[in-house]
Structure 1
């Protein structure tokens, strides 16, 4: 995981429990999506935005699309590091690049991208991401100083 703007990259730590695995003790593929969802939620929290408070302001984030690639299995009791990096910031959506790595050896287990849309709580209609939230994500993603295309290229 690389740093953004010279800051430490964000990583959420979690542990693989029995309920996360199949009969062979290997993490069931869909559970990586849960780990990544939790990391996005914790990323918001680290920036000062709790999802429960945002819902009270008529704002929800919903996954519009997802893509995942699986490289190696996580197993029962593994400690994982799950990143959540904003690589694209638009008026009503964010694109996250995420990785799941085993903490003990930093091996990449799974990676993915998620397009997350900002919607109104009751109608689920798109709404603009509030300026304070946009500014917080711009500060950690470089979006404040780069265009959308530059962020996509990884500049």
Structure 2
């Protein structure tokens, strides 16, 4: 199991290239697709710290669902851009996780968008809120880096 001493996991970065399917008629990333990019980065972060979502579903009977997103779109990403999506766990609570995420354009470092994302842990059978399993929570707590960024 990786530890919070690994700085790559405190602010995790996942690369994304913009494909034609990600864009609108003008060749600009369609706004909802930033959410998909962020979802991938959170999933890969969870995998990097040692947890697979399908295993959590099978073994623990839990799923993760987005509860809330506050997103700020700052600059367009375009067809063929290479992007870096960062995920930083800022809080791990009894039944939720909170992340700060950014989508940056490689090359010039422009921040295309940033978001505060709250994830709810839910029971597979009831689809109602559920507590994070104790071992999962204790493994994730060291990665929580503090207060979430406040969006303008």
Structure 2: which 5+ runs fail to align?
Answer: none
Structure 1 equivalent of residue 106 of structure 2? 103
Relative to 1, partners in 2 of residues 1:105 and 1:90: Cα closer, same or farther, differing over 3 Å?
Answer: same
Quote the Cα distance in structure 1 between the aligned partners of 2:38 and 2:26: 22
Report the CA distance between 1:5 and its aligned residue.
6.2
Question: Comparing 130-139 with 93-102, which one deviates more in the overlay?
Answer: 130-139
Structure 2 equivalent of residue 34 of structure 1? 36
Moved beyond 6 Å, runs of 4+: none
Structure 1: which 5+ runs fail to align?
Answer: 143-150
Relative to 1, partners in 2 of residues 1:153 and 1:103: Cα closer, same or farther, differing over 3 Å?
Answer: closer
- Residues 1:7 and 2:37 are matched in the alignment: no
**Cα-to-partner distance string for 1:67-121 (whole Å, 9 max, x where unaligned):** 1100100000111111111112210001111000012122100000111010111
Equivalenced residues, count: 143
Structure 2 equivalent of residue 46 of structure 1? 48
Quote the Cα distance in structure 2 between the aligned partners of 1:94 and 1:30: 21
Question: Comparing 131-140 with 89-98, which one deviates more in the overlay?
Answer: 131-140
